[in-house]
Amino acid sequence: MTRTSRIHNFGAGPAVLPQSVVEEVASALPNLMESGIGLCEISHRSETFQRVVDSAMERVRRLLTIPEDYTVLFLQGGASLQFYMSALNLLKPGEQADYLITGGWSQKALKEAQRVGDAQSRWDDFSNGFKAVPQQGEYTIRDGAVYLHYTSNNTLYGTQYQRHPDSGGKPRVLDASSDIAGVPLDVSAHDLIYAGAQKNLGPSGVTLVILSPWALSRVGNDLPTMLDYNVHASKGSLFNTPNTFGIFVLDCVFKWLEDNGGLAGSIERNQAKASLLYDELDSSEFWKPHASKDSRSVMNITWRLHNKELESVFLHEAENAGLGGLKGHRSVGGIRASMYNGCPIESVEALVAFMQEFRVRHT
């Protein structure tokens, strides 16, 4: 189907960006900040681009209230590289690290950490279909654990921690790829946070990494250069050519977030969007929401219908109505609406109106 206008995009990532950001990026393509050089053509060593990096760093520090002595990096390789890189930098061979397994991403993070040290799952919801995240007291942390790793939001299953999990006094390492800057986050209660940008912050190909002084102090001396946090930190994320395009888009999104009420505004909008959809899902047995109520995500909402045929009809009719990206992850099936920071409430209103009409017609 060819389209002349933008759909309501519920894709799980890369995800929809605010319209004004898309337009700002488009206008920078031929000429970035009146430098006479296009956004994808400018040197990362230029003064103009340095202004972009500095601005993005300052904005994200303000937006997330990042403590002054923490380091911010814009790296490449996605969150998937951080699965390994975080463990490689924080653990010495044989040392222990504890993981909470709440879905496919934390499984992958654990697997990579096991290449480095004694990384262990301390809680795993696999047998329950990953419907929930652990509650206080449902797991223990080993005395010797160097850190606790968790995934704050689980895109595949639509679950999310409602508060930072107890780490028994150990440093927290967080994969915040799918809810960064969209839910409350106490950065100072963590020692390492990483997030691929393509869901809540910008395009793919750039990863936000936030490190405490403790995290940097753990880094060994003989790591492969590109996998060494200290190398990137000492060069202000410009050790090698970074994703210049991605960092510019990040700066635009951070500015958009600041102009729209900062983190508090973002949290409020995301809660309002999620409430609209959960209200519809809870209104009738017609829908079968996946996540346990105490673990529901505001970013990815997943549900099923009574049978697969009806799910296919739903997806097909939604697509025709200009509602896209709703097919559940291939490992889970069903329906998934991803509603990250860039998703406007109008899109959710359109989805809920479609669902109400669909429910009445098929009941």
d(CA 250, CA 181): 12
- Number of Cβ within 10 Å of residue 54's Cβ equals 12
Q: Which of 105, 256, 287, 303 is catalytic?
A: 105
Instruction: State in angstroms the smallest separation of the CB of 18 from ligand PLP.
Output: 20
Phi, psi (rounded to 5 degrees) for 208: -80, 130
Distances, alpha carbon 232 to alpha carbons 131, 219, 220, 245, 349, in Å: 37, 12, 14, 18, 43
Q: Which of 98, 175, 228, 251 is catalytic?
A: 175
Instruction: State in angstroms the smallest separation of the CB of 52 from ligand PLP.
Output: 21
Over the range 181-203, which residues count as b (16 or more CB within 10 Å of their CB) and which as e?
Answer: bbbebebeebbbbbbbbbbbbbb
Give the residue closest to ligand PLP by C-beta: 78
- DSSP letter for 239, please: S
Instruction: State in angstroms the smallest separation of the CB of 196 from ligand PLP.
Output: 3
d(CA 350, CA 353): 5
By beta-carbon proximity to ligand PLP, the closer residue of 105 and 278 is 105
Q: Is residue 55 a contact partner of residue 257, using CB atoms and an 8 Å limit?
A: no
Q: Does 196 bind ligand PLP (CB under 6 A)?
A: yes
Interface pick for ligand PLP out of 31, 76, 80, 230 (rule CB under 6 A) = 80
Please state the length of the chain: 363
Q: Does 79 bind ligand PLP (CB under 6 A)?
A: yes
Interface pick for ligand PLP out of 24, 98, 175, 251 (rule CB under 6 A) = 175
Q: Does 177 bind ligand PLP (CB under 6 A)?
A: yes
Distances, alpha carbon 273 to alpha carbons 67, 83, 276, 305, in Å: 30, 30, 5, 21
d(CA 189, CA 308): 43
- Number of Cβ within 10 Å of residue 169's Cβ equals 7
SS3 229: helix
Quick check: is 255 catalytic?
no
By beta-carbon proximity to ligand PLP, the closer residue of 16 and 79 is 79
Quick check: is 105 catalytic?
yes
Q: Does 105 bind ligand PLP (CB under 6 A)?
A: yes
What does the DSSP assignment read for 91-109?
A: --TT-EEEEEE-SHHHHHH
What's the CA dihedral at 248, 249, 253, 255 to 10 degrees?
A: 20
By beta-carbon proximity to ligand PLP, the closer residue of 151 and 295 is 151
Instruction: State in angstroms the smallest separation of the CB of 183 from ligand PLP.
Output: 13
Q: Does 13 bind ligand PLP (CB under 6 A)?
A: yes
Instruction: State in angstroms the smallest separation of the CB of 321 from ligand PLP.
Output: 27
Interface pick for ligand PLP out of 9, 71, 86, 155 (rule CB under 6 A) = 155
d(CA 74, CA 241): 11
- DSSP letter for 135, please: P
Instruction: State in angstroms the smallest separation of the CB of 150 from ligand PLP.
Output: 10
Instruction: State in angstroms the smallest separation of the CB of 203 from ligand PLP.
Output: 11
Of 174-182, 252-260, 333-341, 347-355, the segment contacting ligand PLP by CB under 6 A is: 174-182
* Span 133-152, contacts to ligand PLP by CB under 6 A: 151
Over the range 58-78, which residues count as b (16 or more CB within 10 Å of their CB) and which as e?
Answer: ebbbebbebeeebbbbbbbbb
Of 1-9, 26-34, 73-81, 113-121, the segment contacting ligand PLP by CB under 6 A is: 73-81
**How many residues contact ligand PLP, by CB under 6 A?**
12
Q: Which of 98, 123, 125, 199 is catalytic?
A: 199
Of 76-84, 90-98, 160-168, 268-276, the segment contacting ligand PLP by CB under 6 A is: 76-84
Interface pick for ligand PLP out of 11, 18, 78, 202 (rule CB under 6 A) = 78
Q: Are strands 172-175 and 145-151 parallel, antiparallel or unpaired?
A: parallel
Q: Does 178 bind ligand PLP (CB under 6 A)?
A: yes
The residues binding ligand PLP (CB under 6 A) are: 13, 78-80, 105, 151, 155, 175, 177-178, 196, 199
**Active site residue ranges:** 105, 175, 199
